[in-house]
């Protein structure tokens, strides 16, 4: 689908899927298999050496999951992506590819709670430190950068405080220091914002949310823009022979999709957070109707999630709402929240 600019709805339905040549199946088949048959020993060797593209084992790649990966990459207008078992796993795989013991991350302090704990507690146990800054003050990202900083990290729309990041400003700071900007685009979705168009280098999704939309399946996706200069001297793990996989030099060998290949062949392969092909299928089913789901939730003046919030708000004192068109809804929320907090005596 590279020769035309397709619309969001068309990409949600078709990107990344080639109708099955053997059966003609219109729907994406579920390849619920762990392993794959090789033509002969040479074929197996060339697959393992990454000289031929193909599938070896579903922990590394799977045709149903590949369709999900290509579809999300197309929606984000990125180069390539890796899908894993959850949003948390996508972040972990991305950041452990960028950082090793002694390295450092500058992150927004308003991150989703699980992400905050992943960086502040779990990564600290691995010897990777994070400094948390106010995402509304882009210059704070710059002040926190150290010689061993390897990434700047933030959410497009912070969960749950709803701060909107000035992606271009933070990307400018990251690039001035030779660092990638990693953006969690879960809350915005590629319908509302495509961070690559504002300078981000890597985009993360908890596919569990808008990508699926139906709430049946966990999943996470990490997309790369293909534009980051990994040979700028800050990322020898991208240019030197890999200790973890056959001495491959990932940037030299795979170029603009070298980062996703390294994520897949080193971190996903050795830590194992593979997504089930069945979940990939269900997330693709979700994407087929995501266009409508996202349009109706993000596109209207009172999005569905805000209506749910209004009806569920009991003791809320203050809610931030991130857009001009949401102001009237915001006033409604404040009125109801005040009324309900008075009733609750808080």
Ligand X SMILES: Cc1ncc(COP(=O)(O)O)c(C=O)c1O
| Distance in angstroms (rounded) separating the CA atoms of residues 119 and 98 | 13
| Distance in angstroms (rounded) separating the CA atoms of residues 42 and 28 | 30
Does the protein bind ligand X through residue 184 (CB under 6 A)?
yes
Binding range to ligand X, per CB under 6 A, among 72-80, 179-187, 272-280, 310-318: 179-187
Tokens (6 digits) for 107: 């992150």
Euclidean distance between the first and final Cα of the chain, in Å? 56
Cα within 13 Å of Cα(146), Cβ side:
13
CB of 247 to ligand X, least distance (A): 33
Residues 6 or more apart whose Cβ sits within 8 Å of residue 161:
110, 320
Q: Contacting ligand X (CB under 6 A), which of 54, 114, 172, 229?
A: 114
- Binding pattern to ligand X, positions 37-56, x when CB under 6 A? --------------------
Site for ligand X in 54-93 (CB under 6 A): 86-88
Q: Which is nearer to ligand X, 128 or 207 (CB)?
A: 207
Does the protein bind ligand X through residue 206 (CB under 6 A)?
yes
Does the protein bind ligand X through residue 218 (CB under 6 A)?
yes
The alpha carbon of residue 107 and the mean position of all alpha carbons in its chain are separated, in whole angstroms, by: 15
Does the protein bind ligand X through residue 220 (CB under 6 A)?
yes
Q: How many residues bind ligand X (CB under 6 A)?
A: 15
Q: Which of 118, 73, 113 is nearest to 92 (CA)?
A: 118
Three-state DSSP state, 167: helix
Q: Contacting ligand X (CB under 6 A), which of 64, 97, 115, 189?
A: 115
| Distance in angstroms (rounded) separating the CA atoms of residues 254 and 50 | 10
CB of 31 to ligand X, least distance (A): 22
Does the protein bind ligand X through residue 208 (CB under 6 A)?
yes
The binding site for ligand X (CB under 6 A) comprises 86-88, 112, 114-115, 155, 159, 184, 186-187, 206, 208, 218, 220
């Amino acid at each position: 689908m590279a020769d035309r600019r397709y619309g969001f709805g068309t990409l949600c339905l078709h990107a990344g899927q080639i109708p099955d040549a053997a059966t003609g199946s219109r729907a994406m088949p579920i390849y619920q298999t762990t392993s794959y048959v090789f033509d002969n020993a040479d074929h197996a060797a060339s697959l393992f050496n990454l000289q031929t593209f193909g599938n070896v084992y579903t922990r590394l790649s799977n045709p149903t999951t590949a369709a999900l990966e290509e579809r999300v990459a197309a929606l984000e207008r990125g180069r390539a992506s890796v899908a894993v078992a959850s949003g948390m796993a996508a972040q972990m795989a991305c950041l452990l590819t960028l950082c090793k013991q002694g390295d450092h991350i500058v992150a927004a302090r308003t991150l989703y709670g699980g992400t905050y704990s992943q960086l502040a507690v779990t990564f600290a146990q691995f010897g990777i430190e994070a400094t948390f800054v106010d995402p509304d003050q882009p210059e704070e990202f710059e002040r926190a950068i150290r010689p061993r900083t390897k990434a700047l990290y933030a959410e497009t729309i912070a969960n749950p405080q709803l701060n909107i990041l000035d992606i271009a400003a933070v990307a400018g700071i990251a690039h001035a220091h030779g660092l990638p900007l990693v953006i969690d685009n879960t809350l915005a979705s590629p319908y509302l914002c495509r961070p690559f168009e504002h300078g981000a280098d890597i985009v993360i999704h908890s596919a569990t949310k808008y990508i699926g939309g139906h709430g049946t399946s966990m999943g996470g996706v990490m997309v790369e823009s293909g534009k980051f200069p990994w040979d700028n001297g800050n990322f020898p793990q991208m240019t030197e022979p890999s200790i973890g996989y056959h001495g491959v030099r990932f940037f030299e060998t795979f170029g603009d999709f070298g980062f996703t290949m390294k994520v897949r062949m080193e971190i996903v392969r050795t830590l194992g957070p593979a997504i089930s092909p069945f979940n990939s299928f269900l997330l693709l089913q979700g994407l087929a109707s995501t266009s409508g789901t996202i349009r109706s939730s993000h596109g209207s003046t009172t999005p569905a999630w805000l209506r749910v919030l209004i009806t569920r708000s009991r003791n809320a004192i203050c809610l931030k709402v991130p857009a001009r068109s949401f102001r009237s809804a915001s006033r409604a929320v404040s009125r109801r929240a005040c009324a309900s907090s008075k009733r609750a005596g808080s």
